[in-house]
Amino acid sequence: MVRTAIVTGAGDGLGREIALGLAHAGYGIVVVDLDERAAQVCGGLIEARGMPAQAVGADVREHEGLVRIVAAAQHLGGPHVLVNNAGGWTPRQQYPQATAAEWAATISLNLTAPMLLSQLVLSPMREHGGGAIINIASSGGIGFRPYGSPEYGAAKAGLIRFTASLANLEDSHRVRMMCVAPGWIGLRRAQDQWERMSTDERAASGPLIPPAEVVSVVMDLIREGIGGTVVEMWGGSRQVVHTP
């Protein structure tokens, strides 16, 4: 039986890399993205590798979209894995200049949506014998230094604590929830910014993290990670692993 994984924000960037990595490992994928066309393109890449895929264009901040995501996974025989990858913020004003609606939308995307979707998959995962949930946080949610988007940093910090708080979820639902908190990942936009930076700026930011390294950590957690584990990833292959 093919196991099924949901990956949100999978139309491009890290989400697409994770979706392709899971497909390579033998998973059917529910490819979720706000951009339905991008989700379809990723789904096509997965099907070309001989694995089933279903593209879902959905805003994970909307309950109706979350319901359709779970239904798509059930149609493929799952869900067995959920990767809450969708996140980010708009390059407009940040808190406190942003309006309440703007900063609340960032918190909704990066914290509330993963909480809601995780809640919706718990029962069907348990019915299938259990599963794994991976939350993609950020180094922006770690530490005590100033940060350019306070609402994003607060949401990712919340996602990390949410994960650790549910270390015993396997006892009640047979589901392991874990988290990866990477620094600056070497995706296309980051590489473009890196090229424009001075030598001093690059030294201050630290090296970019290859996307394949993040995918590898995600896959390792799905295979044998302990519920409640949080993995900090920093440039230069440095990792800090927190286990319950």
Q: Mark whether 27 is an active-site residue.
A: no
Q: What is the pLDDT of residue 191?
A: 55
- CATH (domain of 95): 3.40.50.720
Please name the helix (run of DSSP H) or strand (run of DSSP E) that holds residue 176, with its range, or none: strand 175-182
Tell me the pTM: 0.94
* Residue 124, both tokens: 């069907």
Q: What's the pLDDT score for residue 236?
A: 79
Q: What is the pLDDT of residue 28?
A: 98
Give the residues of the chain that fall short of pLDDT 50: none
pLDDT of residue 207: 80
The parent domain of residue 192 ranges over: 3-242
pLDDT at 21: 98
For the stretch 4-24, pLDDT in tens is 999 999 999 999 999 999 999
Instruction: Give residue 192's pLDDT.
Output: 55
Six-digit token string for 43: 């789904």
CA dist 107 and 151 (Å) reads 6
Count structural domains, the chain: 1
Q: Using an 8 Å Cβ cutoff, are 235 and 219 in contact? A: no
Q: What is the pLDDT of residue 89?
A: 85
Q: Which of 27, 95, 147, 152 is catalytic?
A: 152
77 Cα distance to chain centroid: 21
Q: Which residues contact 64 (CB under 8 A, 6 or more apart)?
A: none
Tokens 């392709």 locate to 20
Residue 193: predicted pLDDT: 60
